[in-house]
């Protein structure tokens, strides 16, 4: 048996493996050079079917380059990636059939009418006849374009153009949606509309969206990949990322305790790395306790206060935000 399985080629075993594990995107050591500049440097990550993944990074981090490689617009300099088990370079056409891609800034044929444009794009993706008409009706409905379907794209506002781009990406019911900064340049109401649209789409599709608006990711995505300088800095769920952050290990205590004694008592806990204290004007003292990540000292601190009968009025752990994680991981200093 072992011999027989050894005979199957690597690519076959890889693709059957990916179907088994239900992986939509598998990227391994993908790199892209522009001349001497390495825009994307050996990145690897995976996206499971049905996930909404936020692809974060500062400007120029390599987000768009990565997405362009996945959609087959740019070839990778080295490494490989598979989408739904198909190699992005060797089976580019097959991959492109399964992807709905909305490029950055949503380029559209502005002299076409909305319906005409969607009919053209749907036909390019192999839809025809009643199926094309049905899908056009559906995407016009989902993206809220029914009212403007006869208008020329150049007369539409940015928000509507964004929706046309999204409708274009959706029309052939792709397995994977790749959206490059879908809410770029929209006003807050439009951002909300697009965001709820993406959340609804997430029930049926796998979505990879790049952005640098972090609140958006916290609200919509169940996985986050952070890229900076062409390298992956983190890939996890937003909650786990926030918890593992350095600054999340900061506990603030306000109690009426003598500063030197309390400091000695608190630093005796093994996970405590540092402590600072200050006297507040109303006679209380505030202690800021730095602890190692993934530990929680709050219970111990509560016990300590009750043992020593120090009055305690506040004990809180700093709740980090994704924004802080992002800044911590991508800061240049």
User: Is residue 185 part of the contact set for other proteins (CB under 8 A)?
Assistant: no
Q: How far apart are CA 319 and CA 142, in angstroms?
A: 36
Task: Name 277's bridge partners.
Answer: 287
In the bound state with other proteins, the residue whose beta carbon lies nearer, of 113 and 318, is: 113
Nearer to other proteins, 75 or 185 (CB): 75
Secondary structure in 3-state letters for 255-314: ECCCHHHHHHHHHCCCCEEEEEEEECCCCCEEEEEEECCCCCCHHHHHHHHHHCCCCEEE
* 163 touches other proteins (CB under 8 A): no
C-beta closer to other proteins: residue 72 or 159: 72
Half-sphere exposure of 143 (CA within 13 A, CB side): 25
> Number of helices and strands (H, E) in the chain?
13, 14
Using CB under 8 A, pick the residue from 121, 135, 161, 195 that binds other proteins.
Answer: 121
Minimum distance from residue 74 beta carbon to other proteins (Å): 6
Q: Give the span between the Cα atoms of 241 and 226, in whole angstroms.
A: 10
What is the distance between the alpha carbons of residues 77 and 66, in angstroms, rounded to a whole number?
11
Q: Which is nearer to other proteins, 185 or 293 (CB)?
A: 185
In the list 49, 97, 250, 318, the residue contacting other proteins (rule: CB under 8 A) is 97
110 near other proteins, judged by CB under 8 A? yes
The Cα–Cα gap between 15 and 21 comes to: 10
Task: Pick between residue 72 and residue 182 the one whose CB is nearest to other proteins.
Answer: 72
**Residue 188 interacting with other proteins (CB under 8 A):** no
Give the residue, chosen from 22, 78, 111, 155, that forms a contact with other proteins under the rule CB under 8 A.
111
Is residue 182 a contact point for other proteins (CB under 8 A)? Answer: no
Question: Using the rule CB under 8 A, is 158 a contact of other proteins?
Answer: no
Interaction residues for other proteins, span 283-302 (CB under 8 A): none
Binding-site residue total for other proteins (CB under 8 A)? 27
Contact pick of 19, 123, 259, 264 for other proteins (by CB under 8 A): 123
CB of 85 to other proteins, least distance (A): 17
Asked whether the beta carbons of 278 and 285 are under 8 A apart, the reply is: yes
> Pick from 126, 137, 258, 311: which binds other proteins (CB under 8 A)?
126
User: Residues 54, 212: contact at Cβ < 8 Å?
Assistant: no
Residue pair 168/121 in contact (Cβ under 8 Å)? The answer is yes
CB of 97 to other proteins, least distance (A): 5
Cα Rg, the chain, nearest whole Å: 26
Write out the binding residues for other proteins, residues 55-94 only, by CB under 8 A.
68, 71-75, 93
Output 107 or 185, the one with its CB closest to other proteins.
107
| Site for other proteins, residues 10 to 49, rule: CB under 8 A | 33, 35
For position 105 contacting other proteins by CB under 8 A, the verdict is yes
- Rank residues 72 and 238 by Cβ distance to other proteins and give the closer one: 72
Q: In the chain, at which residue ranges do the beta strands (DSSP E only) sit?
A: 23-34, 37-48, 52-56, 78-83, 86-87, 99-102, 176-180, 206-211, 223-228, 231-236, 250-255, 272-279, 285-291, 312-317
| Closest-CA residue to 206 (of 171, 169, 176) | 176
Q: Residues 8, 11, 17, CA angle at the centre, nearest 5°?
A: 85
Of residues 12, 22, 124, 261, which one binds other proteins by CB under 8 A?
A: 124
Asked if 181 contacts 216 with a C-beta cutoff of 8 angstroms, the reply is: no
* Contact residues: other proteins, CB under 8 A: 33, 35, 68, 71-75, 93, 96-97, 99, 101, 103, 105, 107-111, 120-121, 123-126, 168
């Amino acid at each position: 048996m072992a011999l027989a399985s050894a005979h199957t080629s690597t690519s076959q075993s890889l693709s059957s493996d990916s179907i088994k594990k239900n992986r939509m995107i598998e990227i391994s050591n993908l790199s892209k050079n522009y001349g001497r500049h390495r825009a994307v440097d050996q990145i690897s990550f995976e996206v499971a079917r049905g996930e909404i993944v936020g692809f974060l990074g500062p400007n120029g981090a390599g987000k768009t380059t990565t997405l362009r490689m996945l959609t087959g617009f740019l070839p990778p300099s080295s490494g490989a990636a598979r989408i739904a088990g198909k190699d992005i370079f060797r089976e580019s056409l097959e991959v492109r059939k399964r992807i709905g891609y909305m490029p950055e800034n949503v380029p559209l044929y502005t002299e076409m009418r909305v319906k005409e444009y969607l009919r053209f794009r749907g036909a390019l993706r192999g839809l025809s006849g009643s199926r094309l008409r049905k899908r056009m009706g559906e995407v016009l409905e989902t993206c809220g374009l029914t009212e403007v379907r006869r208008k020329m794209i150049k007369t539409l506002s940015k928000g509507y153009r964004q929706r046309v781009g999204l409708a274009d990406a959706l029309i052939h019911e792709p397995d994977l949606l790749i959206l490059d900064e879908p809410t770029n340049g929209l006003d807050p109401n439009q951002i909300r509309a697009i965001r709820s649209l993406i959340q609804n789409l997430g029930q049926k599709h796998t979505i990879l969206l790049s952005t640098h608006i972090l609140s958006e990711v916290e609200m919509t995505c169940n996985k986050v990949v952070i890229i900076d300088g062409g390298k992956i800095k983190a890939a996890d769920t937003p909650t786990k990322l926030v918890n593992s952050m350095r600054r999340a290990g900061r506990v603030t205590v306000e109690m009426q305790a003598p500063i030197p004694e309390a400091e000695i008592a608190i630093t005796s806990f093994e996970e405590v790395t540092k402590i600072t204290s200050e006297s507040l004007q109303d006679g209380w003292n505030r202690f800021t306790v730095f602890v190692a990540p993934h530990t929680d000292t709050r219970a111990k601190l509560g016990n300590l206060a009750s043992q020593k009968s120090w009055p305690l009025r506040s004990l809180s752990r700093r709740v980090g935000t994704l924004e802080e994680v992002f800044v911590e991981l991508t800061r240049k200093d």
